[in-house]
Amino acid sequence: MNRSVSVIGGGLAGLSSAVFLAEKGYKVTLIEVSPKFGGRVYSFFDKASGLHIDNGQHILASWYHNTFDYLKVIGTYHKLSFQNQLEVMFADVSGVQYSLKASKLPPPLHLAGGIMGYKALGLSDKLSIVKLVNKIKKGKYSESDLNKMNTDKLFELSSQTEKAINYFWKPFIIAVFNAEPENTSANMFCDIIRLGFIEKGGSELVLPKGYLSDIFVKPAIEYLDSKKSKVLTSSKISRIEFKDNSVSGLILEDNSIIKTDFYISAVPFFNFKNLFLSRDFASYFGDLKELTSSPIVNIHLKFDKDIAGVLPNDFAGMLSTISQWVFKVTDYQVCVVISSAAAVAEKTKEEIAKLAESELKMCFPCLKGFNVTSARVLKEMRATFVPDKASLNSRPGTKTSVSNLLLAGDWTDTGLPATIEGAVKSGKTAANEILKLN
């Protein structure tokens, strides 16, 4: 007989574990508290502004292999657009544009070639970057030293210049980790440098060709339906119940019970503790330390005229501004992204929209004759966890001391920052652990 699994939480981690287990013939029940699946990845039509909106512009990289596997199973892998080689356009506040384009050499020389041609930096800045990547490649920093420091310290030790930090490292770190160098573990930073810049085929950026829900979420639910899985929305798990050191069932808010052979928690860290009676939490997860959250703010702007030929690329970085990236969504619509946005998130939405518009027009003066006809600002206050050195000790593994309870979620110990890839990888790892248990 097919064995059964309950998955708590219908974000990408939960969807990924549900999809990979349904693929292997498991009877899956997926339970989501909100009225929609997708968690932090969702799209909607905003009546007030008349804009179709993704809650946050999501960008992927060519090392997102678990994500690609997931999309292949649900049939939307073809809806990704891959760069042939890493290429990013930046513009600064005086409207000067700089291109960072990797060369065709094998990694990491491709990056060295790109950095050498990146005119925002002088020779000493470029050399400091290349030397650091080379040292990481050669394993010159020990794991135990890296575990003790954040990335600002690594930059100090490796004599990174101020320009190298502000015009190269910071845009990269804030985009990947949603944190400043002083809040980013040096160990995790080095791991991402290896994945993205040193290993072959890791550095190209990948953009979804369409809205997030249509690529990552709805097709997953259709796939689960086709496998006769049970998918429940607006259903809150209020407690995990234990008997004889195993999970005996999930209690819903209306006191009904779901009983299966295995259980996966795929809720965010800030909801995890609430799944347990304090007595059970203390006995199974008592030494788990709290993570902290970092916000991302997205500003969706619609213009009165066609911007297609005006912005140089599908996306561009902005230098020396509070706004960091701009993405072309349609010929009339852009999304401006501010990550690591704790200070900005305190401003009103009107102030934030004005700030983004004025910085955009400084970096791209060609937009000056264009008027914003509607704006929508989204503040995701708990977008990701802060990946500092302390976080390394606050991420639980997939397996727990309870044999039929597994953990997933971008905050679990995936070795990656909070990303789509981290979430999907965690779900796949939990699914694989259940396959091994059978």
Ligand X SMILES: Cc1cc2nc3c(=O)[nH]c(=O)nc-3n(C[C@H](O)[C@H](O)[C@H](O)COP(=O)(O)OP(=O)(O)OC[C@H]3O[C@@H](n4cnc5c(N)ncnc54)[C@H](O)[C@@H]3O)c2cc1C
Classified as helix, coil or strand, 376 is strand
Instruction: Give φ, ψ of 383 to 5 degrees.
Output: -65, -45
Stretch that binds ligand X, among 27-35, 118-126, 367-375, 397-405 (CB under 6 A): 27-35
384 in contact with ligand X (CB under 6 A) = yes
| Per CB under 6 A, 107 contacts ligand X | no
Rg (CA), the chain: 22
Q: 378 vs 402, which CB is nearer to ligand X?
A: 378
Reduced to 3 states, what is the DSSP secondary structure of residue 138? Answer: coil
Please check whether residue 372 is in contact with residue 355, taking contact to mean a CB–CB distance below 8 angstroms.
Answer: no
**Cα-Cα end-to-end distance for the chain:** 12
Q: How far apart (Å, rounded) are the C-alpha atoms in residues 339 and 180? A: 9
CB 301 within 8 A of CB 357: yes
- Copy the structure tokens of residue 213: 């829900």
149 lines the binding site for ligand X (CB under 6 A)? no
Count residues binding ligand X (CB under 6 A). 39
Please classify residue 368 by burial: count the beta carbons closer than 10 Å to its beta carbon, then call 0-12 exposed, 13-18 middle and 19+ buried.
exposed
Tokens of 153: 């310290």
Residue 170 CA to residue 179 CA, distance in Å, equals 9
Q: Stretches 90-98, 103-111, 261-269, 342-350: which one binds ligand X (CB under 6 A)?
A: 261-269
Q: Which is nearer to ligand X, 181 or 295 (CB)?
A: 295
The answer for residues whose C-beta is within 8 angstroms of residue 166's C-beta and 6 or more apart is: 319, 320
Q: Which is nearer to ligand X, 161 or 294 (CB)?
A: 294
Considering the rule CB under 6 A, would residue 237 count as an interface residue with ligand X?
A: yes
Q: Find the part of the chain contacting ligand X (CB under 6 A) among 34-42, 131-139, 198-206, 309-317.
A: 34-42
Q: How far is the CB of 295 from ligand X (least distance, A)?
A: 8
In the complex with ligand X, which residue's Cβ is closer, 227 or 236? 236
Nearest distance from residue 96's CB to ligand X, in Å?
Answer: 26
Give least dist CB 304 to ligand X, A: 26
407 binds ligand X (CB under 6 A): no
Nearest-angstrom CA–CA distance, 313 and 329 = 11
**Residue 33 or 195 with smaller CB distance to ligand X:** 33
Q: CA nearest 295: which of 336, 342, 335? A: 342
34 touches ligand X by CB under 6 A: yes
d(CA 419, CA 296): 13
Are residues 327 and 354 in contact, defined by beta-carbon separation less than 8 angstroms? no
Quick one: which segment of 50-58, 113-121, 306-314, 389-397 binds ligand X (CB under 6 A)? 50-58
Closest separation in Å from C-beta 69 to ligand X: 15
- Whether the CB-CB separation of 40 and 380 falls below 8 Å is answered with yes
The least distance separating ligand X from the CB of residue 187, rounded to whole angstroms, comes to: 19
Minimum Å gap between C-beta 322 and ligand X is: 16
User: Which one of the spans 51-59, 93-101, 113-121, 347-355 is the region binding ligand X (CB under 6 A)?
Assistant: 51-59
If one asks whether residue 431 binds ligand X (CB under 6 A), the answer comes out as no
Taking CB under 6 A as the binding criterion, the range among 37-45, 68-76, 109-117, 365-373 that sits at the site for ligand X is: 37-45
- Count CA atoms within 13 Å of residue 136 on its CB side: 26
By CB under 6 A, tell whether 33 contacts ligand X: yes
294 three-state secondary structure: strand
How far apart CA 150 and CA 188 sit, in angstroms, is: 9
**Stretch of 43-51, 57-65, 84-92, 317-325 lying at the interface with ligand X (CB under 6 A):** 57-65
Residue with the two structure tokens 């990797």: 102
Q: How far is the CB of 206 from ligand X (least distance, A)?
A: 10
Which of 266, 329, 362, 377 forms a contact with ligand X (CB under 6 A)?
266
Comparison of 14 and 202: residue with beta carbon closer to ligand X: 14
- DSSP category for residue 89: E
- Sign of the torsion angle spanned by Cα atoms 368, 370, 375, 377: negative
404 part of the interface to ligand X, by CB under 6 A: no
Token pair for residue 35? 């009225």
Q: Which stretch in 123-131, 189-197, 378-386, 395-403 sits in contact with ligand X by CB under 6 A? A: 378-386
Query: Side-chain half-sphere of 157: how many Cα atoms within 13 Å?
Result: 14
83 is an interface residue for ligand X by CB under 6 A:
no
Q: Which of 5, 383, 386, 430 binds ligand X (CB under 6 A)?
A: 383
Residue ranges in contact with ligand X by CB under 6 A: 8-14, 31-34, 39-41, 55-56, 58-60, 236-237, 266-268, 271, 275, 296, 298, 380, 383-384, 409-410, 418-423
